[in-house]
Structure formats: structure tokens, C-alpha cells
A and B are shown apart, each in its own frame.
Chain A
Amino acid sequence: MTRKLLLALPLLVFVLFVGAALWRLADPPSSTVASKLVGKPVPPFALKPALPTKPGFGAADLAGGQPRLVNLFASWCVPCIAEAPVLAELKARGVAIDGIAIRDTAPDITRFLSEQGDGYARIGADPNGQAQIALGASGVPESFIVDGRGIIRYHHIGAVMPQDVPEVMAEWEKVR
């Protein structure tokens, strides 16, 4: 009996494997990491203006009744260059955008915006990446849609590319 069981052991292990594989195939893992902060209020932060020409902002300013798209960017970030024209298109379609400049300097930001275009209503300076950490962002660029009451409704990791525009616009329409 033990020998029979032993001989059937590989088969039993395989059956277990097939069970797990079937379950996984029926319920494939989602490839997008759902941000823990979606549905929660913006965590507290307050940022000084990154440039003398534009105001900075803080978490409190995001609960001002109007939805905003908060975009984390940096002049040293290559994907941000690819993202800039898409942000310009979003702005043209009525999206209000605030920027957070991560670990950057005013001269570099000015140069970046003059070359790549400037769609930001406000830009906060985040020289140490504190707001980035508070928002649970892992890198640059990332974007958040915050509704008029200061609740995060959408989190996009990486550059917003042309193919992402319909999704971002759909999320924007929801909070308007």
C-alpha cells in the first residue's frame, strides 16, 4: 500500500499543480498595481513654489472644490520629456494640472519648461522627495487625479502616453 501511494505521489503533486494553475487561469493577476491611496484623502504636505513666477501648493489647496491632476515630474527625467506633449493635450481638453518638481532646481525647471512646454497652473518644489513619499509614488513621472474634496481618485504610474489619454479623460470626467 505504501509503495502504491509512493508511486502515485508524482501524480498527486501534478494534480495539485493543475488545480492551482486552473484557478490562476480563471482569475489572472491584474498587472496594474492598485494604489493604496485611491479613495483616500491626499496625505498632508505643503510645498514652496518651485519658480518665482508660479505659486506652490499643499494638500489643503487640493480640496478647493475643483478637481486637479497632480503630476510628479523632474527636469532630469527622460520619460517626462515624452510625457510633456500629452500633458499639453490634456490641458487643452480642460484638465487643470499642478506639478510637483522632484529633487530639482529652479534654473533646471525653467529650462525644461521652456523646451518642453508648460501646462502647470502651480508647481511645488519637492527638493527631498518628501511629497513623493507621502503620495506613495515610486518614481517619476506619476500622476494623480484628485477630486474637489481632496480625495485621490486615480493614480497613473509612469509617463502618460497618447494611448492612456482616453482612460485619463474618462477618470477626469468622473470627478468633474
Chain B
Amino acid sequence: MIAEAGLAALWLAAALALLQLGAAIAGPRVGDVRAVAVPTAVAQGVLTLFAFAMLIWLFVRTDLSVELVAANSHSMKPFIYRFSGAWGNHEGSMLLWVTVLAVAGAGLALVERRLPPETMRATLGAQAALALGFFGFLLIASNPFARLYPAPAEGQGLNPLLQDPGLAFHPPTLYLGYVGLSVAFSLAVGALITREVGPALARAMRPWVLGAWVLLTLGITAGSYWAYYELGWGGWWFWDPVENASLMPWLAATALLHSVNVLAARGGLRSWTIMLAVVAFSMSMVGTFLVRSGILTSVHSFAVDPERGSFILGLLVLYVGGALALFAARVGTVREGARFELVSREGALVANNLLLTVLLGVVFVGTLYPIFVEAATGDKISVGPPYFNAVSGPITLVLALLLFIGPLLNWRRDRRPNLRRIALPLVVTVLALAATFLADMSLLARLGLAFAAGLAVASLLPLAGRNLRRTPLATWGMVISHLGVAVALAGAASDTAFTRETLAAARPGEVLSVGPWSVRLAGVDPVAGPNWTAVEGHLVATRGGTTIRLDPQSRTFSDPPTETSEAAIRTLFDGQLYTVLGHREGERWQLRLWWKPFVTLIWLGGALIALGGALALVGRWWRGRRQRRSEEAFA
């Protein structure tokens, strides 16, 4: 009954989406936009949320008469993984996607009050069209509630790599971000239809972009850390197609976040903002398509299914193609925005937008190049970190340099930019650069460390000379996010410059050294967990007077049979010691040891970037509420 209730809710929600789209097309004849679109949007949100709750319930109960549960769960699994197993598979994750889409649509319908009614109608119509397509995909090609008869006695389990607390929260966070961008997309499409692009649109769009961007930042940061400790390869970014699929919408959203501010504050950058809003969500859909269709091989691949792939590609053509065609046809007729000079806050933000867009292009081309080449010549090639690092590294450094000056410039024009204010960060940069020559490292790492030091100082300058208690939260948010960029850059550069690695086969009792550490393999023991067995190495690491113990494991799961390595990682104030136990070679055990100075700054920086975004979101919301209150009091 639970499964049938979920399925019925989905069908009802799909019917409501159709109604909402019809009402938008029919226009004012069917009455006020709020009378029809708002209730249908809210009801859709509630119904899909209900369906998703039903799926979680089925997984928690391990109801094996449901095909999806039988294929992906196991009654012996710990509770948290039975729970998160609901979205650790194709159908469940698509239901999560649709749920977020419908809930975001409901939120937009409820919250937004300032847009012109025609734009609002077109926007809700666009959101309904998006929802309708994905409801169709779910109900026709990926029904999560399909029954299995007869029910099997036991489920097939969940991919052991995915049995990790990180999985419980990483995909939902990313999905909230991806799909939050759908609202910006719908707003852009609505504005293109009515040709009303202006500050009101930007103000309506901004909180959604900001919120989605915060969640994407958190999701990517968490995903990076998850790959770092779970895969046991010691790296934090692999340029895997699926990582790139999450990075591309983030890059577009970051650019959008900046240009939407120009549109809100100055009425400028109209076509840019519209294009970025369309591209950001398009990239989310392209990313989902790449992952779901299996057309790119990746560690994240779900089952390859050409039928589902074709379905999503059809939706992509409809939505992305439609929106981009509308953009090409209409945006030329949008009234031109306010002009500005090259040296101005707008000018710096345009440079930021261009660089982020180039970076997006670099990742896009690198990710899809193998397919293009194989389609054209039949050769199988793969594009790896050497390309991505070589191209994205310098662009990132230029972006960091732009951050020194951008936030200090005035709007519209800055005849005499106050260059004296950036003297301090420049001096810090030069001093840091000089200091890097004490050690041997690559040029990119050297510049990365120097720029990070300078940027850390420069990012704080917008606060200089201000009354800190009266500084708006949004400004604090910007400062903290930019500081986060400096911190993450420092971590990445430090990891590149100072990481030491030792790979060896050691007998029990043998001592290896890595960086400043001496690591002794004290012994190896078998251990067992709830649904796995493992061999566990006992390592004793010493540096000066410090002694720490690490117990990396090599795990073997029974259902399905898979081996994973559980790295043992110890975080110290000045870095991480990362150890992996590999296979046995006769008497000896393969050991892989890394000493990674200050590597944790990468994720700390990511968290700071997200925190800054969250502060700005809260600050704007707070201010908007106060403004409305005072307006109401005045009226």
C-alpha cells in the first residue's frame, strides 16, 4: 500500500504540473496568477514530498516486494544506510531531484511578491514545464515504486563504496543546489518571454542563486573530502567526469551570483545575467544526463541505460535548447542596461564573469573532448589531470589576483582607484613569494602560495575603516567568502608543494619514513564488521616526541563481493598523515603513506566560502524583512 500511495501522489502531482502549465499559457483569461498557479505549485510540492517520504519508509522497512528496495538494500544493513539507500540509486535519486524541483517551485510561488504578474505567470509556467518533463521521466522510464513478484528473501545490498556517512548527505546537498538553480532558470525564461529584465528580476533571482550556490559549494567540498578519504588515492580532486559535472554548474552559479548583483544594484549586465541563469541550470541538467546515461565512464557511473539516456536527452533538448534559442532570439530586444566604464566595480565583475566562463569552457571541453574525438576519428582517448591542472591553474591565479582589487572599486566608474589600499596585500604577496624560494616547488605552487597570502590580507580590506558592528552582513559574507578562496588556495598549493609520499612493501616490524615521520608497521590483524571482514594494519608513527597510532584497513564486503581500502588519516595542526594498507605480497604488506602539510585548508576554505554565502543570504533576507516592515508601517 505504501508504494501505491507514493505512486498515486506522483501521478497527482504530474497532473497539477500540467494544470499549472496550461494556466500559464492561457494567460490572464483564467484569472489572477496567484489564484491558480500558487495553489497548484504548493500542492505539487507537498505531494512529491509525500512520495519521497514513502520511498524512504519502504527502504527503512526493507520492503523487498518493491523492486528498487530489493535491488539496492539488504536487511542486514545499518539503519543509516537503509535510510540513505533510498537515494543511492537511479530511481530514488531522480525522485529526490523531482521532489526538490517541486518544493522549490512551491517556495517561489509562495515567497515571490515583487515581480510583475506577467513575468511571474511565465516563470511559474516554465517551472511547471520543467517539473512535468521530470515527472514524465520518473513515471514512464524510472518508476521507483515498481513491485517485484515474488518478493525475494533478501536484497542485493548497496555498493560498499557508498556505505559511508558522507553518502547520507552529499547527494541531497548537491541536488538541492542543482535544482535550486532551476528557479533562476525559470525566472530567466519568464523574463525573456515578457522582455522584462531589470533590478526586480535580479532581486527575485538572487536569494535562489545564493542559496543554491551555498549548497553546491558545501556539496562539492564534502564530495571532495569524501573522495579523498574513501577512495584511498590521497588526492582531493580527480577531474572525474562526475566531479566536473558538479563543478560546471558551480562555476556558472558563481559567475551568476556576481552578475546578478550588478543587475540588482545598477541595472547592468542584463544579457550576461540571463545567459548565466540559463547556463547554470542547463549545466546541472547536462551533468545529471552525463552521470545517468553512462555516456561517460566514471567511478560514479550508474547502470548504463540508453533508453533512459535518450529520454533525458530529449528533455535537455526541449529545455536547454528551447531556453538558449529563446535567449538568442529575444535577448537582443531586451532594453540595454546601465553603462559603465572599464575601471569600475562592474568592470571587475565582468572580468570575473569572463574568467569563470572561460574556466567553465575549459572543464566542459575537457570533459566531453573524448566523446568528440571518438565520434570524429574513432580513437579512444582520455583527458586527465595534466590538461585540467595546466589550464585551470593559471586562470584560477588570475581570478585570485582580480580579487585583490575588484571589491575595492566604485560602481559605474572609478577615475582614481585607490591603489594605495592594495599596497599592503601586494607587499605580503612579494614577501611570501620570496619565502617560497626556501623550498623547491613548481611555479604554479609557488605563485599559489604567494597569492593566497596576499589575498588573505586583500580580502579583509573592504572592512578596513568601517564600523564593524554597522557593516551589513552581506559585506561580511563577501569578505568571508573571499577569505575562504585564499584559504582553499593555500591548502591546494601547500598540498602540491609539500606533500611527501612513500610506497613500499613492509614486513611487520619494519620502519618506513615519510616526510618528518617514521612509521613502523607493528602488525596486521583480521577484524570483522557488520557486513564485512578486513585485515587491519597497526602503524605507529613518530615525529620528535609525538607518537600516533593509525589502523588502516583493507575491507572485503560479502554482498556484493567487493574490496575497499579504508585509509587511516590523522589530522594534526600542521597537516595530515594519510595511510593506506594494500595487498599482501608474501611476508610483506603494501603500504602507502602520505604526509600532507596544511591540506585540510582546502576544505576549510570551501566551508568558509559557503559560510560567507549563507551570511549574505541571511543578511539580505533580514534587511528585506525590515524594509517591508517599515514600508507597511509607513502605509
- A and B associate: yes
- B364 proximity list for chain A (CB < 8 A): 13
Chain A window 9-52, contacts with chain B (Cβ cutoff 8 Å), 1 for yes, 0 for no: 01101111111111111101101000000000000000000000
What CA separation (Å) do A5 and B304 show in the bound complex?
A: 36
B331 within 8 A of A: yes
B236 within 8 A of A: no
A3 within 8 A of B: yes
Interface segment, one of B82-90, B176-184, B322-330, B455-463: B322-330
Count CB-based A-B contacts (< 8 Å). 81
Determine whether the beta carbon of B304 is less than 8 Å from that of A28: yes
A171 to chain B, nearest CB (A): 23
Determine whether the beta carbon of B309 is less than 8 Å from that of A103: no
A82 within 8 A of B: yes
Given A7-B331, A14-B324, A76 and B585 contact (CB-CB distance below 8 Å) = yes
Given A10-B324, A29-B297, A82-B561, A18 and B313 contact (CB-CB distance below 8 Å) = yes
What CA separation (Å) do A51 and B182 show in the bound complex?
A: 66
Interface segment, one of B288-296, B338-346, B441-449, B472-480: B288-296
Contact partner, B321, options A14, A20, A23, A79, Cβ 8 Å: A14
A116 within 8 A of B: no
B316 within 8 A of A: yes
- A26 proximity list for chain B (CB < 8 A): 306
What CA separation (Å) do A17 and B248 show in the bound complex?
A: 15
Contact partner, A25, options B275, B295, B331, B585, Cβ 8 Å: B295
- A77 proximity list for chain B (CB < 8 A): 583
B279 within 8 A of A: yes
Determine whether the beta carbon of B586 is less than 8 Å from that of A24: no
Determine whether the beta carbon of B295 is less than 8 Å from that of A10: no
Interface segment, one of B108-116, B194-202, B368-376, B571-579: B368-376
Determine whether the beta carbon of A7 is less than 8 Å from that of B325: no
Of all chain B residues, which has the CB nearest A3?
Answer: B332
Determine whether the beta carbon of A18 is less than 8 Å from that of B316: yes
A78 within 8 A of B: yes
What CA separation (Å) do A30 and B316 show in the bound complex?
A: 25
- Number of chain B interface residues as a range: 35 or more
- A93 proximity list for chain B (CB < 8 A): none
A165 within 8 A of B: no
Determine whether the beta carbon of A23 is less than 8 Å from that of B375: yes
Those of B542-566 within 8 Å (CB) of chain A? 556, 561, 563
B320 within 8 A of A: yes
Determine whether the beta carbon of B375 is less than 8 Å from that of A24: yes
Chain B window 245-274, contacts with chain A (Cβ cutoff 8 Å), 1 for yes, 0 for no: 000000000000000000000000001000
A4 within 8 A of B: yes
B502 within 8 A of A: no
Those of B297-320 within 8 Å (CB) of chain A? 297, 304, 306, 309-310, 313, 316-317, 320
A-B pairs with beta carbons under 8 Å apart, 29 shown: A3-B332, A7-B328, A7-B331, A7-B332, A10-B275, A10-B279, A10-B327, A10-B328, A11-B321, A11-B324, A11-B328, A14-B282, A14-B324, A17-B368, A18-B316, A18-B321, A19-B375, A21-B309, A21-B313, A21-B371, A22-B313, A23-B371, A24-B295, A24-B375, A25-B293, A25-B309, A25-B313, A26-B306, A29-B297
B residues near A, CB below 8 A? 271, 275, 278-279, 282, 286, 289, 293-295, 297, 304, 306, 309-310, 313, 316-317, 320-321, 324-325, 327-328, 331-332, 364, 368, 371-372, 374-375, 556, 561, 563, 583-586
Given contacts A11-B324, A16-B372, 13 further A-B contacts (CB under 8 A): A7-B327, A10-B275, A14-B321, A20-B368, A23-B375, A24-B374, A25-B306, A25-B313, A31-B304, A78-B556, A78-B563, A103-B585, A105-B586
